[in-house]
Amino acid sequence: MKYTPVNKRKIINDPVHGFIKIPSTFIYDIIEHPAFQRLRRIKQLGLTSYVYPGATHSRFQHALGAAHLMGMAIQNIRLKGLKITEKEAEAATIAILLHDIGHGPFSHALEQSIIENFSHEDVSRLLMDKLNEEFKGKLDLALKIFSNKYHKKFLHQLVSSQLDMDRLDYLKRDSFYTGVSEGVIGSDRIIKMLNVVDDNLVVEAKGIYSIEDFLIARRLMFWQVYLHKTVLAAENLVARVLQRAKYVAGHDNNLFAVNGLKYFFKNNITRKNLYSKKEDIISNFVNLDDNDIITSTKVWINHPDKVLSILSDNLINRKLPKIIMQDQPFAKNVIDRKIKESIRTHNWNDEDIGYFIFTGSISNKAYSELDDKIKILYNTGETRDIVDASDIFNVSVLSKIVKKYFLCYPGSLL
């Protein structure tokens, strides 16, 4: 008789990729770590669910999905005859798994408000180092790959480049959860077409149309989802709620907040003191997630500070600012008119008006010439940059920065 029970927990059901197998015990340990479990509590797309209600998926799912694609990519590259050791495969998988570990609640909300002087990438790096300590150096190779210090460059490129497993997963996943069906990309086909030349990642020429489609689909997702004007309005609102709360916390010691938030309200962290305070930063940052922001904001609705109260109510009950977008910066007189109307209608003073009426800009480009390029491999063995290889794209159009300006103002104004 033959019967071997298997640890079923090591297979995870993902609606996007199907069954995902956790490839090793060590990777399972990392997934179980509180720092990684925390990603369950951070939505991949922040407040995007205010526009696309289906988009409630977490960074946890995305990290697992990207790791799954890494496994597939490695398997395919091996089939092309390239040797990748088990150690390298595990390290690359860990690197992609942890690539977003330092993400704060609501994407960049904190970065745009209470911790202006460093980015989630900085925190990711601090956290990875800390995990590496805890795991006694077992993350050394993963960190080398992550920071592009390993000689097999393509492993880093799979983790972070213009055609990395991060993008392949998030485009497919965000398209699935938002219902924006035309964002679907041929990740399976692209992965099948990956190869390696001189330690660099390339795409075989047959895959060129899938790459074109990938670049256009990504562009569509940017304008249709990530930079959707209502999403922008919501993200700017949450940032202002936190800014004001930090301001109020300056004189109101009893402002409701969890310790993690209080720390960043009280301390001005800059890149300079980042490393000296890293223990504090990590322990506070890692405690924060979407729930703290929402719970606090709900409490702040009843705060005597009128600005904080209104902003909080607007955020929680989806009374979003109106937003208009255009290709040129807004003329001063247009903004001033809105401000005047607002002062008349709402009686704001000059200092506070900026919480309700503000401008900003966003930009995006489909492809960057400066970053790691997407290289196409021909049967002849020759490689070419996608912008040279494609019949339809050329550098000037594809890598042009598209910049848009927005003006937000209260919904009660016309």
Which residues belong to the active site?
Answer: 120
Applying CB under 8 A, does 391 fall inside the site for a copy of itself?
Answer: yes
Contact of 156 with 148, CB cutoff 8 Å: yes
Applying CB under 8 A, does 40 fall inside the site for a copy of itself?
Answer: yes
| CA 320 to chain CA centroid, nearest Å | 22
Report 250-279 residues binding a copy of itself (CB under 8 A). Answer: 258-259
Shortest Cβ 391–a copy of itself spacing (Å): 5
φ, ψ for residue 42 (rounded to 5)? -125, 120
Residue with Cβ nearer a copy of itself (58 or 112)? 58
Applying CB under 8 A, does 58 fall inside the site for a copy of itself?
Answer: yes
Applying CB under 8 A, does 25 fall inside the site for a copy of itself?
Answer: no
Shortest Cβ 181–a copy of itself spacing (Å): 6
Applying CB under 8 A, does 87 fall inside the site for a copy of itself?
Answer: no
Report 142-181 residues binding a copy of itself (CB under 8 A). Answer: 176-181
Residue with Cβ nearer a copy of itself (81 or 304)? 81
Left, alpha or beta for 108 (phi > 0: left; psi -120 to 50: alpha)?
alpha
Pairing of strands 358-364, 402-409: antiparallel
Report 214-243 residues binding a copy of itself (CB under 8 A). Answer: 214, 216-217, 219-220, 223-224
Length of the chain in residues, anyone?
414
Applying CB under 8 A, does 304 fall inside the site for a copy of itself?
Answer: no
Q: Token pair of 166, please? A: 């991060």
Residue with Cβ nearer a copy of itself (88 or 352)? 88
Q: Which amino acid is at 278?
A: K
Contact of 62 with 169, CB cutoff 8 Å: yes
Residues 6+ positions from 173 with CB-CB distance below 8 Å: 16, 44, 57, 61, 62, 65
Count of C-beta atoms within a 10 Å radius of residue 4: 4
Applying CB under 8 A, does 414 fall inside the site for a copy of itself?
Answer: no
Q: Give the range of 3-11, 135-143, 157-165, 269-277 binding a copy of itself by CB under 8 A.
A: 3-11
Applying CB under 8 A, does 82 fall inside the site for a copy of itself?
Answer: yes
Q: Which residue spans within 181-337 are E strands per DSSP?
A: 194-197, 200-204, 322-326
Site for a copy of itself (CB under 8 A): which residue of 188, 252, 341, 385?
188
Site for a copy of itself (CB under 8 A): which residue of 22, 289, 307, 376?
289
Site for a copy of itself (CB under 8 A): which residue of 86, 116, 140, 182?
182
Q: How far apart are CA 298 and CA 330, in angstroms?
A: 33
Contact of 197 with 379, CB cutoff 8 Å: no
Q: How far apart are CA 353 and CA 351, in angstroms?
A: 6
Site for a copy of itself (CB under 8 A): which residue of 24, 26, 41, 148?
41
Pairing of strands 18-21, 11-14: antiparallel
Q: Give the range of 109-117, 204-212, 349-357, 405-413 binding a copy of itself by CB under 8 A.
A: 204-212
Site for a copy of itself (CB under 8 A): which residue of 2, 151, 272, 332?
2
Give the total of residues touching a copy of itself (CB under 8 A): 92
Q: How far apart are CA 273 and CA 401, in angstroms?
A: 33
Applying CB under 8 A, does 340 fall inside the site for a copy of itself?
Answer: no
Q: Give the range of 84-92, 139-147, 271-279, 287-295 binding a copy of itself by CB under 8 A.
A: 287-295
Shortest Cβ 204–a copy of itself spacing (Å): 8
Report 362-381 residues binding a copy of itself (CB under 8 A). Answer: 366, 377, 379, 381
Q: How far apart are CA 103 and CA 285, in angstroms?
A: 9
Query: Which residues, in sequence order, are bridge partners of residue 202?
Result: 195
Q: What is residue 271's three-state secondary structure?
A: helix
